[in-house]
A and B are shown apart, each in its own frame.
Chain A
Amino acid sequence: MATKVKGVGVGVNIVEKSVTYVSNTVIQLLFRIAHKRGLDPSYIQGNLDVIEKGLRTWLSEQKLRALLLQVFVADKDDALENWETMFEYYADPKEEVRKPPVQEIEKACEGLAKLPPGATYRIFASLDPDATEVDGWVPGTPKSLVAALEKVFEDWGFGQVGAKVRYQGGNWGDA
């Protein structure tokens, strides 16, 4: 899962690369989760620039605590699923490039029961209070979730930033 990186610290901007790598992989997972859960990708595609700008800004500031993809049906009070990417920041940069557990997450998605008609999703960022405002992001509150099941996947990252995905929901197909 891990690839040793050569040449760390020799004329390269580790902070920039770390932020870009984690930002790219988070967006990769958003697409893959939406695909495997049968959700329309147009929300991510239509807001790609905004999502990327938010990720890059807040990861650079180390003010992004978590990014939540919440699945829900509009007229229901409770959400159906939370796919939350939680971030960690390291004072001592990690020299390994750790890949996101894409296959494990996709496999887990396939093991879940099919979402009901009308299921959609939104993305929420959990920030430190003094994080910079980014155009396109507006205040929002996720729906509550009664989670019968939870699974945390292997962490990944590079440099100063690490991340891991936590699934919370109630319809684990084979559980």
Chain B
Amino acid sequence: MSMTDKSLAVGFRKMEEISALLSQVLNEAGTDASFAYGDELASVVGALSKEVVPLVYSQVLERIDVHFAEEEIHIELDYYPELDQEDDLDTSFLKLVSTKADKLAFNIVVNQEECATYLGADKIPSLSTEHVEVSLVCLEKQTAEEGGKSSSEGSPDNGNES
């Protein structure tokens, strides 16, 4: 399994811009992974990018993980970036690993399950389709399951990690 960390700077951006960017990146990840069900993906991503808006506003959304084949991409949301910080969202490297995916999965990782549920995030898994699966993951639980390993906080300094 290969893991790659990406970051999206939120703090100084309008929410409509963040929502559009997330949509674009998640669709591009599918395209770069040669995912054959582009329309299905676009439909799920369109709905998902609206559902996550209150989670981004409330800063409950920690990251979105994209899983397919042997690849995993973590898109971290950086709520307090440096003023001149740029995003690291390029997924075109996936073409180089010649991945062909017939199923994609998104994990919506939140840092406060109770608040996320309050904001309607428990409905997110119902967006899943035959080839695109969407799950809600609570960081608190995930961390506990990993034996107290601290969660990744902030954005990575560099792009790829395998």
Contact = CB atoms under 8 A, between A and B. Distances in A.
B83 A27 contact: no
Interface string B56-72: 01110000000000000
A99 interface: yes
Contacts of B58: 28, 31-32, 35
A20 interface: yes
Interface stretch (A7-15, A57-65, A125-133): A7-15
Contact of A6 (B11, B57, B82, B114): B82
A102 B115 CA distance: 13
Nearest to A23: B14
Contacts, number: 59
B83 A97 contact: yes
Chain B CB within 10 Å, residue with most, of A5, A17, A99? A5
B12 A35 contact: no
B54 A31 contact: yes
B11 to A, nearest CB: 6
Main secondary structure of the interface of A (DSSP, over half): helix
Interface in A88-147: 97, 99, 102
Interface in B42-66: 53-54, 57-59
A8 B82 CA distance: 10
Given A24-B11, A97-B11, A31 B57 contact: yes
B149 interface: no
Interface residues of A, number: 24
A24 B115 CA distance: 17
Contacts of A7: 82-84
B115 to A, nearest CB: 5
A17 to B, nearest CB: 4
Interface string A17-53: 1001100100110011001000001000100100010
A34 to B, nearest CB: 8
B119 A17 contact: no
Interface string B6-26: 000011111100000000000
A5 B82 contact: yes
Contacts of B119: 31, 35, 41, 45
6 contacts: A5-B83, A12-B84, A21-B12, A27-B57, A31-B57, A45-B119
Interface of B: 10-15, 53-54, 57-59, 80, 82-84, 114-115, 118-120
